[in-house]
Amino acid sequence: MKETDIKELNERIQKESAFVDMLNLEMHKVIIGQKHMLESMLIGLLSNGHILLEGVPGLAKTLAIKSLARTIEAKYSRIQFTPDLLPADLLGTMVYSQKKEEFQVKKGPIFANFILADEINRSPAKVQSALLEAMQEKQITIGENTYSLDEPFLVMATQNPLEQEGTYPLPEAQVDRFMLKVIINYPTKDEEKHIIRENITGAFPETKAIIKPTDILKARGIVREVYLDEKIENYITDIVFATRYPAENKLKKFDGMISYGGSPRASINLALAAKAFAFIKRRGYVIPEDIRAVAYDVMRHRIGLTYEAEAENITTEDIISEILNTVEVP
Amino acid sequence: MMLKYKLILLTILLFAGFASPAQQTRISAKLEKDSILIGDQITFDLLFTGPAKAKVNWPVFQDTLTSEIEIINSSGLDSARKNNLLELSQQYTITSFDSGTHSIGPFRIAFNMPDDTTSYIGISDIQDLHVLTVPVDTTKAIKPIKGPMDAPLTFAEILPWLLTGIGLLIIAAAIWYYTYARKRAKPLIPVRQKPKLPPHIQALNDLEQLKQKKLWQEGKLKEYYTELTDIIRIYIEERFDIMAMEMTSFEIMEHLQALHPDGESLEKIASTFSLADMVKFAKEKPLPSDNDTSWLNAKYFVENSFRRKEENEPEEENKALTEKVQKENE
């Protein structure tokens, strides 16, 4: 890529990413606070990745994805995962039509642009697998027919960190398919006061459509063009390798604390998410700040802890922080 | 009448001049004290004083003096000649386990004179020994037999343990020193190291070397800016104790603003970092004047921050070290 290309790209991004500010403005009409969640949703949307959200109930997860769908004029589905849910309830099934005297396809709620898979860990493995396969393949087979899912296709799955009884925790291989795992925290005091006032008056503002799904697909193309220098690639691999071989990367204290480190998917998603983050910041190139900004969300579910680490109350966030403070920035 | 007195006087003088051997003899028995507590030990001395040429049949006691008094120990027979008299003595350590008053003696010691078939006998005095019992308080309960008393530890008994302990301590200290020295890659016999240059001297030297390399003139812009920022980051790390090598440009500036409130200097170094990021991560090709300005900004920052330190905390020690190192380098 030549010098002029980056300049031209920067100019294009300045122009094409203008919707980001408008989208944020529109979303903040209905969502008070939760800036990080909204930013992560945009990263997922722009880099064609799915998001696993972890947070207690009542933090506006459903409202956020609903509002995002509305601002993009996209189709939205909310699926409540329960222990008795079947893959067919999710994907769709063949239904016999007496009128036509034949089996007809009845598509499931997964045929939408934005899916909120609420409490994904409440359903058994076969339902989880069905969803994760659809996320990966972007297509569904019902009977003899295969149907492609609509683009953009974003799955936002939620997990409740408090109630673990009667749940089916997602296996590591399936969690790895989510690009980001976002931890949602409570709003601040001022934000909470604002939420109370809005709920008491009952004046709930509504979002309006800002862009179309095709604009998102176009933006995704530009995001892929964002320049990622070799120095940044080295920085990404240094970080991911530090999760795999901590002792060789000046992190001897984590030796025996990490059961498995980040997979190559971690490196890919770190690069993609950083590109999307740079796009949101209206830049045509990735800088180390972008990597650090997305590192926690990309890697927290891709590092396995040993019993020793759990006994010492070490979290994956502690490990990521230490890695970021140890690996040299280019 | 006169003759009668003369005869009496003559008889007295005659008998006085020829005293018999038995008259010259004295047997003495002497107790150390006349009363003891049952089982106590005292000494008993038997002394014979007689003619110098007397052949004495000294009594031999086996285990007892009398049936109630036992001999614990006896000294050898001691003999001496004083004033033409023979003195024989022997000391006995005695005890008694029978309460009451026991008589010791009289002891009869027979002796002969040369050219005289008469056997002479000397008789000792009688000594009374009062053996007292322990008073018993019958009003109190009977106590069990007291256990054996511990003999006090002697130095000879402790010595082997003491030597073993000292030996083990020496071995442990040797092992610790060996492992500690190895861990720090320190030779067992330390070699004097060259003192490290103060950070500002090192940074200025490195900047001068960078200038002489003429990297940007050869089109190696990325290398030039990488080295330039590395010099500054190492300087910041050592001068301000900030982990600059593991921080992004933005984070470094955030920390510097809190520690080094010189607006102009910070502005210059911020613009250098910003341009360096563009060159390193966005393929920016600055003008030659910008490259020179970046170098000058870096130098200004090092000199300015060093001067500020000197003004705020004048360090004679630092100056002396600098001169010393410069001399050594020459």
ipTM, 2 dp: 0.79
| A293: closest chain B residue by CA | B248
Q: Report whether pLDDT(A256) > 60.
A: yes
Q: Where are the alpha helices (DSSP H) in chain A?
A: 3-16, 18-30, 35-46, 61-71, 87-91, 125-137, 172-175, 189-201, 213-225, 230-244, 264-280, 288-299, 307-311, 316-326
Q: What is the mean pLDDT of chain B?
A: 83
In whole angstroms, give the CA distance from residue A133 to residue A50: 12
Instruction: Determine, for residues B246 and A6 on separate chains, whether the beta-carbon distance falls below 8 Å.
Output: no
| Identity of the residue in A1, A3, A289 whose CB atom sits nearest the CB atom of B248 | A289
Cβ–Cβ contact B250 with A under 8 A: yes
Residue B315, pLDDT score: 54
Cβ–Cβ contact A286 with B under 8 A: yes
Instruction: Determine, for residues A1 and B283 on separate chains, whether the beta-carbon distance falls below 8 Å.
Output: yes
Cβ–Cβ contact A311 with B under 8 A: no
More confident residue, B111 or B23: B111
Residue A145, pLDDT score: 81
Tokens, residue A214: 């095709």
∠ CA A65-A71-A77, nearest 5°, is 40
| Identity of the residue in B250, B284, B285 whose CB atom sits nearest the CB atom of A289 | B250
Find out whether the peptide bond into B21 is cis, omega within 30 degrees of 0: no
Instruction: Determine, for residues A287 and B277 on separate chains, whether the beta-carbon distance falls below 8 Å.
Output: yes
Q: Report whether pLDDT(B302) > 90.
A: no
Please, what are the domains in chain B? 20-132 (2.60.40.10), 199-323 (no CATH)
User: Residue B79, SS3?
Assistant: strand
In whole angstroms, give the CA distance from residue B250 to residue B273: 9
Q: Report whether pLDDT(B138) > 50.
A: yes
Residue in B19, B26, B55 with CA at minimum distance from that of residue B123: B26
| Contacts with A327 from chain B: Cβ below 8 Å | 246
For residue A274, CA distances in Å to A16, A38, B250 come to 17, 16, 16
Q: Residue B140: CB partners within 8 Å, gap ≥ 6?
A: none
Residue A2, pLDDT score: 46
Residue in A146, A156, A166 with CA at minimum distance from that of residue A79: A156
Tokens, residue A309: 């680490």
Q: Report whether pLDDT(B324) > 70.
A: no
Q: Residue A145: CB partners within 8 Å, gap ≥ 6?
A: A105
| Contacts with A324 from chain B: Cβ below 8 Å | 246
| Contacts with A289 from chain B: Cβ below 8 Å | 248-250
Task: Give me the residues paired with residue A305 across strands.
Answer: A258
| pLDDT-based confidence at residue A1 (cuts at 50, 70, 90) | very low
Cβ–Cβ contact A292 with B under 8 A: yes
| pLDDT-based confidence at residue A60 (cuts at 50, 70, 90) | confident
Of the CA atoms within 13 Å of residue B252, those in its CB half-sphere come to 29
Residue B121, pLDDT score: 87
Tokens, residue B73: 């120990």
Residues B34-83: tens digit of each pLDDT: 999 999 999 999 999 988 888 899 988 888 988 899 999 998 899 998 88
For residue A314, CA distances in Å to A162, A320, A321 come to 18, 11, 11
| Identity of the residue in B226, B281, B285 whose CB atom sits nearest the CB atom of A232 | B281
Q: Report whether pLDDT(B25) > 90.
A: no
Residues A65-105: tens digit of each pLDDT: 888 888 888 888 888 988 888 888 888 888 888 888 888 88
| Contacts with A328 from chain B: Cβ below 8 Å | 245-246
| A323: closest chain B residue by CA | B246
| pLDDT-based confidence at residue B125 (cuts at 50, 70, 90) | confident
Cβ–Cβ under 8 Å, residues B100 and B67: no
CB atoms within 10 A of CB B265: 20
Question: With pLDDT > 90 as the criterion, what percentage of chain B qualifies?
Answer: 23
Average pLDDT on B243-259 reads 87
Q: Residue A110: CB partners within 8 Å, gap ≥ 6?
A: A77, A79, A90, A91, A92, A131, A134, A140, A149
Q: Report whether pLDDT(B165) > 90.
A: yes
Q: Report whether pLDDT(A146) > 60.
A: yes
Question: With pLDDT > 70 as the criterion, what percentage of chain B qualifies?
Answer: 83
In whole angstroms, give the CA distance from residue B56 to residue B88: 9
**CA-CA-CA-CA dihedral for B12, B15, B18, B23, to nearest 10:** -120
- The least confident of A257-266, A281-290, B115-124 is B115-124
In whole angstroms, give the CA distance from residue A46 to residue A26: 17
Q: Residue B171: CB partners within 8 Å, gap ≥ 6?
A: none
Tokens, residue A274: 């950083």
For residue B98, CA distances in Å to B17, B31, B264 come to 49, 17, 112
| A235: closest chain B residue by CA | B246
Tokens, residue A204: 């709930």
Cβ–Cβ under 8 Å, residues B300 and B268: yes
How long a stretch of residues is chain B? Answer: 330
In whole angstroms, give the CA distance from residue A310 to residue A321: 17
| Contacts with B284 from chain A: Cβ below 8 Å | 3, 6
Residues A38-55: tens digit of each pLDDT: 889 899 999 989 999 888
Please, what are the domains in chain A? 35-214 (3.40.50.300), 227-326 (1.10.8.80)
Question: With pLDDT > 90 as the criterion, what percentage of chain A qualifies?
Answer: 21
Instruction: Provide the greatest CA pair distance for chain B.
Output: 171
Amino acid (1-letter code) at residue A303: I
Cβ–Cβ under 8 Å, residues B299 and B175: no
Instruction: Determine, for residues A229 and B280 on separate chains, whether the beta-carbon distance falls below 8 Å.
Output: yes
| Contacts with B275 from chain A: Cβ below 8 Å | none
Q: Report whether pLDDT(B174) > 70.
A: yes
- The least confident of A15-24, A158-167, B191-200, B314-323 is B314-323
In whole angstroms, give the CA distance from residue B254 to residue B251: 5
Cβ–Cβ contact A324 with B under 8 A: yes
Task: Give me the residues paired with residue B216 across strands.
Answer: none
DSSP state of B109: E
- The least confident of A63-67, A136-140, A160-164, B52-56 is A160-164
Tokens, residue A184: 């949602």
Residues B286-301: tens digit of each pLDDT: 888 888 898 998 888 8
| Contacts with B249 from chain A: Cβ below 8 Å | 287, 289
Average pLDDT on B19-42 reads 85
Residue A89, pLDDT score: 87
∠ CA B214-B219-B221, nearest 5°, is 80
Token look-up 């925290």 returns: A185
Residues A168-226: tens digit of each pLDDT: 888 888 888 899 998 888 888 888 888 888 788 877 778 888 888 888 888 898 899 89
In whole angstroms, give the CA distance from residue B7 to residue B275: 157
In whole angstroms, give the CA distance from residue B292 to residue A169: 58
In whole angstroms, give the CA distance from residue A150 to residue B1: 180
Residue in A78, A67, A60, A59 with CA at minimum distance from that of residue A42: A67
Residues B93-102: tens digit of each pLDDT: 999 999 999 9
DSSP state of A98: T
∠ CA A219-A226-B282, nearest 5°, is 150
Instruction: Determine, for residues B280 and A3 on separate chains, whether the beta-carbon distance falls below 8 Å.
Output: no
| pLDDT-based confidence at residue A147 (cuts at 50, 70, 90) | confident
